[in-house]
Amino acid sequence: LKCSKVAMIGIGPFACAAIHLVVQNIEADDQFDPCLKVWVQDPLDEFEGRSLIDIVNTEHHHPKYLPGVHLGDKVIASSDLEWVASDADVLIFCPPHQHMQSITRRLMGKVKREAVAISLVKGMRVGRDGPQLVSQMIRKNLGIDCSVLMGGNVASEIAKRELSEAVVGANSRETGQLFRKLFQTPYFNVDIVQDVAGAEMCGTLKNIVALAVGIVDGLGCGCNAKAVIMRQGLTEMRKLSKTLYPNVRNETFFESCGLGDMITTCLGGRHRATAEAWTRAWKSGAPKTWSQLEVELLSGQKLQGVGTSNEVQEVLRARGWEASYPLFTTVNRIIKNYIPPTSIFTFRDGVILPL
């Protein structure tokens, strides 16, 4: 591809961090057009009374999601999805996963046939035919190839140029190389794995494990207990991925998309922190809902793992697999208030923690 036009669909915290990486590369490499169009879902979104689209287009930063980080002078934000996507050769998808179905439906037949896509979205959809990964949805609805970028990547740390790594899960080495060129910087290492479903399942499922770790933190347990959760979590992640997608590779779970992302999210992610706050509120006798905490702690963004836990549970229930995934099942029952957070370890040996 010569002088490829790149477009970003989404402008949440991770999308902003990804824009920050991508603009460094498209401005330096004449294989790419240096302009980056960015789709903003909500044209009325504002910060201190000013339109966020105007702020991004005139001051080139996003004060709400990645304050103080320069997004690049050639970033053009717009709420016109077709205008942003239709002339792009490379489409980067990074909106919340629950919006992907409507976004890809709106774009059906409107993107270049030879365009390639990459999804940064960590989540799945469960339809009548069963689970569908976001990369599969893009391939099906838009008829174009889709890779994924997954890894232990907290947005604010990337923005500070701290060392991070990720993998591009691609169907071919050549496409993997294209996306590596787009995202890699001296502090953001990108490896290529030819296991799209494996990388994407890792990024999606680890959010459930991070919720479990947050619950354990909220109960005041230490590191031994958290290790129990993470080990079991990784085991269930691998089992479900390989059962649903038999070509998924074992090695993928030891890449930055697997072990790396699980560690990052369980130590420093929003899932862990929100689940800890949720559990503390429950423990104090003044429980809060997930939506309440999303407003209080996440500027109203939806915690992807709560939706994912419900979606995964739908798959497990429909196939009669709940007993084979005791941690995923226990977490889902806790977050729905069917059982108390103190039951978190019942998946293992029936122990209910004393308060």
Give the residue numbers annotated as catalytic, written as ranges.
Answer: 206
- Name the residue nearer to ligand 13P (CB basis): 12 or 72: 12
Tell me whether strands 124-127 and 130-133 are parallel, antiparallel or unpaired: antiparallel
DSSP string for residues in 287-346: ---HHHHHHHHHTT---HHHHHHHHHHHHHHHHT-GGG-HHHHHHHHHHTTSS-GGGTTH
183 near 153, Cβ under 8 Å?
no
120 near 15, Cβ under 8 Å?
yes
Q: Assign residue 313 a region: left if phi > 0, alpha if psi is -120 to 50, beta otherwise? A: alpha
Residues that bind ligand 13P (CB under 6 A): 122, 152-154, 210, 261, 264-265, 269-271
- Name the residue nearer to ligand 13P (CB basis): 141 or 184: 184
Residue of minimal CB distance from ligand 13P?
Answer: 269
Closest CA to 21 of 190, 188, 230, 222: 188
Find tokens 């740390």 and name the residue: 157
Distance of closest approach, residue 337 Cβ to ligand 13P, in angstroms: 21
Distance of closest approach, residue 19 Cβ to ligand 13P, in angstroms: 16
DSSP string for residues in 33-76: EEEEEEE-S-TT-EETTEEHHHHHHHH-SBTTTBTT----TTEE
- Name the residue nearer to ligand 13P (CB basis): 145 or 261: 261
- Name the residue nearer to ligand 13P (CB basis): 304 or 332: 304
- Name the residue nearer to ligand 13P (CB basis): 55 or 303: 303
Distance of closest approach, residue 323 Cβ to ligand 13P, in angstroms: 28
Please report how the helices 261-268 and 196-218 are oriented relative to each other, as an axis angle in degrees rounded to 10.
30
162 near 191, Cβ under 8 Å?
no
* C-alpha–C-alpha distance, residues 305 and 98, integer Å: 11
Distance of closest approach, residue 271 Cβ to ligand 13P, in angstroms: 4
Compute CA distances 338 → 266, 292, 325, 330, whole Å: 23, 19, 17, 9
Distance of closest approach, residue 93 Cβ to ligand 13P, in angstroms: 15
Distance of closest approach, residue 34 Cβ to ligand 13P, in angstroms: 28
- Name the residue nearer to ligand 13P (CB basis): 236 or 261: 261
Distance of closest approach, residue 152 Cβ to ligand 13P, in angstroms: 5
- Name the residue nearer to ligand 13P (CB basis): 257 or 315: 257
Extract the runs of DSSP E, i.e. beta strands, from the chain. 4-9, 32-39, 46-47, 50-51, 75-78, 90-93, 116-119, 124-127, 130-133, 145-151, 164-169, 188-193
